[in-house]
Structure 1
Amino acid sequence: MVRNIHAMSWICLFGNVLMTVSLMIILIKVISAPHIHTSALPAFTDIKGTVMAAGAILYALEGQALVLPLENKMKYPKDMIGWTGVLTTGIALVTLVYAACGFYGFITYGENVAASITLNLSNSPIDFSVKIMLMLVVYSSYLLQQFPVVQMLFPFIKRPLRARKVRRVYIISLEFLFRFVYVFITCKSNIPVSFQFSSLVEQKKFLYGNFVGLSWLIPNLDDIIPLFGGSAGMTLSLIIPPTLETVTFFNEWRYKRSKKYFIFHICLNIFYATLGIFFVVTGTQANIAKILSR
């Protein structure tokens, strides 16, 4: 098992190359295909569809758990944030790719477009190679996804062992066992043949978040993705950050800043938190109703 973040970065670089090639093939395919005229397609959906789409989009952008652990390991941590930082650049690229695949996929396949664009691919050699590459992307990036979990949880196990002067080789062996159990819990699932290699997003959900056996209970993971994005994602993105910022800097804004500055930031954080609560409530209700109707 790979424990070093620098070794992980090289493995993830290999996955990023495969991802770039796969996306280029998919985009070339949907851009060059015959398109349905936009006037023949619905421009908007209903409120439930909107909040579910917001949850799915936010899931694609979810990386909160990786930000601080990776920033702490960077040679130049300040490069993580800013207009040209790693975080901003990554989110911008993901947004552009997500929008391009969604738009061109919709005008190519119309109402028959699947939950993931890869589900609309055929079984031709080049399309099948895309599915294989995306599968390898998932496995090559899983080390990095596992990294913050191990960094946060394993020290609680390691500290008592070090206090008892347990040999280092045993601690490392226990860490490998911990990683194995984590992978076993999050990855163990009987994937139907029809779902194998079919969707990068679905495979990510199998690999990254399926605690308590959700992959067994709900095979249609295009329902689970908006649920996770609309509940946990919205909470981590729109509710907790403005709440913590307000609690932390309330006295500073009130006594050391101007009245306009204080009112502006309080109103802005209230707006973000209210928007997040709206999406959590409506998105969770809409997703659960859809899951139960299956």
Structure 2
Amino acid sequence: MIANVFMGLGLGITVYYLVQELPDVSSRPQYAPIIGMPQFMSIVIFAMEAIGVVMPLENHMKTPRHFLGLCGVLNQGMSGVTLIYIMLGFLGYLKYGDETMGSITLNLPQEEIAAQIVKVLIGLAVFCTYGLQFFVCLEIAWNGIKERFSNKLVIREYFLRTLLVTLTVALAVSVPTISPFIGLIGSLCFSTLGLIIPAFIEMITFWEEGFGTGYYRIWKNVLVIVFGVMALLFGSYTSILDIVALYKP
């Protein structure tokens, strides 16, 4: 709840900056070159990274059946998030055009106090929610090594938490321009873990039960796998080219 307040305030101030002296919509190109499509899809796939907390949240709910469905908790929550994504993307590009940076907060006037407050608020929001986002990674890592220890399990678990958080923060600080790396992570990791592998798992799960009328599950999963493979290949290729160009002397 506290993180939502911080994020809401930060978004409100950001939108205030974005709507100031907006240029005419016709001054911006309506379509981007097709060559930029792989990088776009890689970043879109990266936005799926929070899907890793969906099953743990559902499993810990008092009434898990309310999580899914047309009017379930997931759809209600993600509908609002999707609208915010669309609004920020539209206003951000309309305001700054091709000068729009990987994080819209980097386009805000750095010398103004309100812009600095936005960064502080978003940083606090991330600080409050990082434990939830990191829950699945930590559980996998800790379950893989805890059998090797016989005592002081709590202390060792906290040490692992601290180590992993420190490594991720150090990695974030060491990367000056994040956009190409977001695309690479999205295309390389999430296209595999979020699209290709789940499609195979569903086909294996329903192998004996059947794939539904007209084998719709097979057709659906084949399309998902093809899309995931294309995102993996083309997205990784373009992201690597962008990273090489970024650090090329």
- Pairwise same-fold verdict (TM > 0.5): yes
Q: 1:184 aligns with which of 166, 169, 173?
A: 166
Partners of 1:45 and 1:251 in 2: how far apart? 45
Match of 2:181? 224
Is 1:119 the counterpart of 2:106 in the alignment? yes
Query: How many Å apart are 1:232 and its aligned residue?
Result: 1.5
Match of 1:41? 28
C-alpha spacing 1:280/1:286, structure 2 compared with 1 (3 Å)? same
Q: Residue 167 of structure 2 aligns to which amino acid in structure 1?
A: I
Match of 1:233? 190
The answer to whether the 8 Å contact 1:253/1:262 transfers is no
Q: 2:12 aligns with which of 20, 24, 27?
A: 24
Query: How many Å apart are 1:160 and its aligned residue?
Result: 4.7
Partners of 1:104 and 1:45 in 2: how far apart? 16
Where relative contact order (Cα < 8 A, 6+ residues apart) is larger, the structure is: 2
Match of 1:158? 146
Match of 2:239? 287
Partners of 2:189 and 2:145 in 1: how far apart? 27
Match of 1:6? none
4+ aligned runs moved over 4 Å, structure 1: none
Is 1:84 the counterpart of 2:71 in the alignment? yes
Partners of 2:78 and 2:117 in 1: how far apart? 26
Partners of 2:79 and 2:17 in 1: how far apart? 22
Identity %, equivalent residues:
30
Q: Gaps spanning 5+ residues in structure 2: where? A: none
Q: Gaps spanning 5+ residues in structure 1: where? A: 1-12, 190-205, 207-214
The answer to whether the 8 Å contact 1:242/1:272 transfers is yes
Query: How many Å apart are 1:85 and its aligned residue?
Result: 2.5
Match of 1:271? 223
Alignment of 1:90-105 (within 5 A): 90-105=77-92
Is 1:108 the counterpart of 2:92 in the alignment? no
Query: How many Å apart are 1:224 and its aligned residue?
Result: 0.4
Match of 2:127? 139
Partners of 1:114 and 1:265 in 2: how far apart? 39
Q: Residue 203 of structure 2 aligns to which amino acid in structure 1?
A: T
Q: How many residues align?
A: 245
Query: How many Å apart are 1:176 and its aligned residue?
Result: 1.3
Query: How many Å apart are 1:281 and its aligned residue?
Result: 0.9
Partners of 1:92 and 1:234 in 2: how far apart? 22
SS in 2 for 1:188: helix
Q: Deviations over 1:141-169 (max 9, x none)?
A: 111122222222223433454xx5x3xxx
Query: How many Å apart are 1:236 and its aligned residue?
Result: 2.6
Match of 1:67? 54
SS in 1 for 2:184: helix
The answer to whether the 8 Å contact 2:102/2:177 transfers is no
Query: How many Å apart are 1:58 and its aligned residue?
Result: 2.5
Partners of 1:64 and 1:126 in 2: how far apart? 32
Q: Residue 49 of structure 1 aligns to which amino acid in structure 2?
A: G
